[in-house]
Chains A and B, each alone.
Chain A
Amino acid sequence: MGKLGRTDIFEAVFWLLIAIIFFAFSFNFNQPIEIYKFGATGWPRVILFLMALVALGNFYQAYSKGSTAQEGRVGAKENDEPIEYTSTGQYIKTGMILILPLLYGLSLKPVGFYSGTPIFIALIMIAWGERRIRFILTNTILIYAILIGLFMLVLNAPLPQGNMSPFYDISAFMLKTKTQLDQLF
């Protein structure tokens, strides 16, 4: 196995899978373009071919020299203090940290910014280990107020309103209040 680690094998499989999957999907748009000989697939397929080739090179490097940094690489750093996972709880916590923001992003279309944001802020603080209820409540309100003040009132930025009741109604109420405030001043 040379100096190969489990991560190195996983990395090689990951890059090769990307190359294969995208190559397979490239047949969906494999149509000729009258004015361009290489068509829509030429450029992406060259990238995929190079990716597969370089992934093999990366695998060979790991096999022969291990996964340590090459000398003279500008800006490359070894992890200063790699995190070792010792319990399932740690995996779950990290998983939550990664997944929660994504769920927030997915919920923006139906729930909207105005209703979803305070819940997300509170949840993210809990996921990151905060347990003081007063701290969570105060900071959620404070962050929400700053965001609404800056982006809704000052910059008048359009934010997602949601398309599901009652969230849409809450957004409509917020925007109506803002319009009334604008008229007042």
Chain B
Amino acid sequence: MTVQNSQSPSAPLMDLRTLPSGVTFLHDPTFRGEGASVVVLVRTGARDEVSGEFGISHFLEHMVFKGTQHRSALDLTLAFGDLGAQVNAYTSDEQTVFYGTVLNEHVDALHAILLDMMNPLLDDEEFRVEKKVILEEIALYADRPNFVLYEKAVADFFGGVGVGQSVLGTSESVAAIDREQMADYVARRYRRSNMVVSLCGDLHSDFYADLTDTRVQDLPGEEAAGSPKSHSRVHGKTEIFHHEKNTQAHLFGLASGPDAKDPLRYAAGLLGIILGDAQNSRLYWELVDSGLAEYASIDCEDKDGVGCWMLSIAAAPEQWEEVRERAFAVLSDVQKGGVNPTVKRGGTVTEEELDRAKTKCLSRLVMDSELPLGKALASAVSLQYRGVPFVLQHEMESIRNVTREDCQALLERYPVDTMNLYVMLPR
């Protein structure tokens, strides 16, 4: 499938193909610069881990850099260095993504290495050493109270299974993982049908599509199982935790929101800007401008089959209750006032605010879509969740088309004033 440019029909905006191998291939040819990016997205993450595997997706992400059937860990490291490649990877609850950017003349080599890495060696000694690195990473985040709170909150909100499972795992769960378990996980999840290869740069689509097909031939071809379903659980409760490293109060609220395929996600993005953008939003004026909070934000995170509003605030510990009251007063006002063009009552969101949020959102989209890596990543992620690649012009159109009725429907279906609130205070 080629996504056409309506302004200039001969210039495609995106090339999307399912290759004979089963891999989904994407190429955004609109970037004209000296660099190009390659992204390999595997549809697997913490959500797909079963009991005894917690933390394995992330551990595997590290092991993918520790050698393949054709290259040792050192070979990989030195090859990236020789190419001057800016390479990295991340694991979330729903995806494991490997990516790199190089000067145009090295794209072929980067593409070859990243696809070779999808068949990792899992060498015993490398496995033993890398496990120590993972345990250090877990220790690092255990010293960050806001991260500890986030993990506790999402685990509780989503019931501790599927979405909301810890990406890092615990030091106990990671320590217990063995090489055979990981090999089994690779065979189960690193399958061709479970991968998206996304490129952005001044490259020939056909050439790289064929090359992708050739380079994944050794990977298993069977369909990977779908991810387990997740459900959110909103009780409107407040749960308080204490952490000895805390010097601030961290408040983290969760409520149900639209999922990644729900068209209401565009309205959610705009309402998030109106309510909780970093500056000039309802929460900003109530809490940050007044100096009560260091930051206060709310936005919507959409995932596969489930989504959530996320409220995040940092404030002085002695003021956390006042901050909570004032934050929920803002959210409740908007929930009650709704979205109305003419009748302003309480916290009604006006047409003017909606237009302003659209302007803000559209400008940011243009500015944030400048570099090839951002484009290639956005395309791969959009394809994973929605079955269509990210195309800037289409995204902008969808944002422009959001109506006040959409926002009202969003509030009715996904209220913002009833949340589970999780609070981390100093011990």
> Do chains A and B interact in one complex?
no
Q: Which residues of B contact A (CB under 8 A)?
A: none
